[in-house]
Homo-oligomer: A and B are copies of this chain.
Amino acid sequence: MHEIAIGIDLGGTQVRAALVNERGEVLARAEERTDAMAGPERVLAQIKMLADGLIAAAGQASVVGIGVSTPGPIDTFSGIARDIPTLAGFVDFPLKKELQKRFAYPVSLENDGIAAAIGEWQFGAGQGLENLVYATVSTGLGGGVIADGRVLRGRKGMAGHIGHMSVMPDGALCPCGNRGCFEAYASGTAFTQRARERAFACTETLLGAEGAPVDSRSVFSAARRGDILANRLIDEEAELLGRGFTSLLHIFSPQVIVMGGGLSHEFERLHPGIQGYIARWAMPAFKDVPVVHAALGQNSGLIGAAALAFLAAGTQDHMQPISIT
């Protein structure tokens, strides 16, 4: 009888769940829109329903546990969410304990950036590496780090909030409350915002013509049709990412930076600009480090969460050793 784990990716927009085997393959999945304003009880009920559906679908397989990726920062050692900005009511909330109450299987909890880093490390673009930084560029900008062959957790398991390094003094307002964060400039949200402002101020662009919505998809689409503003916006985004990634190279010295998140759908278009910035501006010893596309796409966190459940269960035959500190 083979073993499987449930991975849950709790996000501010979607709750996603998957049945994952020991090779990191998704056997079944389910998702629904997060009832983000309804409070913890309701969100926990959503998780419970999705997971139970998958457990029922597991058939003969043995469920080893449930891994949950959550928006942070959350103290994964105590399991208590101090304040999750994207989910109402998760203030000083004992998330891990409340999750465990609802399941007969062991529950593991991880900050979303770290969960996704574990997914890419175990089953994705970082397999076999000792040092990697995972960056997700999406609504927000988050990440997680594998260093010297181990998950970097830090105090309360809250390391890896790479979106909240300052890249501009007194700069653009960030959802975290500070100004000038990497996230406030280089996230998908910031990219779209910039595109709207610039399209509004520009007459010679396809963007926003005849009231069409301006979003990241429309920018890349216009760029492919030769739109100058759209191409410039993308080049600027690549430069912003390149600058932030260069900082991360110097700070962590990874073997690779793995880029995921919504904006990584257009990785091929962004990559030359990102890698070009690094080649030009990183210190000599760091210039050759590649930035690569997340191999698990939108499932890095989901599969990483399941990997955590396998690890907690000690069933890690197919996995690299992860030490849970």
Interface residue A165 (Cβ < 8 Å from any Cβ of B): yes
Q: How many whole Å from A76's CB to the nearest CB in chain B? A: 11
Question: In the complex, are the beta carbons of A325 and B283 less than 8 A apart?
Answer: no
Q: Are A159 and B177 in contact (CB under 8 A)?
A: no
* Across-interface contacts of A231 in B (CB, < 8 A): none
Interface size, chain A (Cβ < 8 Å): 50
- For A176, the closest partner residue in chain B by CB is B283
Q: Are A161 and B250 in contact (CB under 8 A)?
A: yes
Query: How far, in angstroms, from A273 to B157 measured CA to CA in the complex?
Result: 27
> Nearest Cβ in chain B — how far from A322, in angstroms?
12
Please determine whether B253 and A159 come into contact, CB atoms closer than 8 angstroms.
yes
Tell me if A149 counts as interface (CB < 8 A to partner B): yes
Binary flags per residue of A143-182, CB closer than 8 Å to B gives 1, else 0: 0000111101111111111101111110000001111000
Give A246-265 interface residues, CB cut-off 8 Å to B: 246-248, 250-255
A148 CB contacts on chain B under 8 angstroms: 150, 152-154, 325
**Interface centre among A130, A244, A283, by most B CB within 10 Å?**
A283
A positions within 8 Å CB-CB of B: 73, 75, 82-83, 130-131, 147-150, 152-162, 164-169, 176-179, 243-244, 246-248, 250-255, 281-286, 289, 325
Check if B155 sits within 8 Å of A152, measured CB to CB: no
For A147, the chain B residues whose CB sits under 8 A away are 147, 152-154, 159
The CA-CA distance from A250 to B147 in the complex, in Å, is: 16
Q: Name 12 A/B residue pairs within 8 A (Cβ), A-sorted.
A: A73-B253, A82-B285, A147-B152, A147-B153, A156-B253, A158-B286, A159-B251, A166-B167, A166-B243, A167-B169, A178-B282, A178-B283
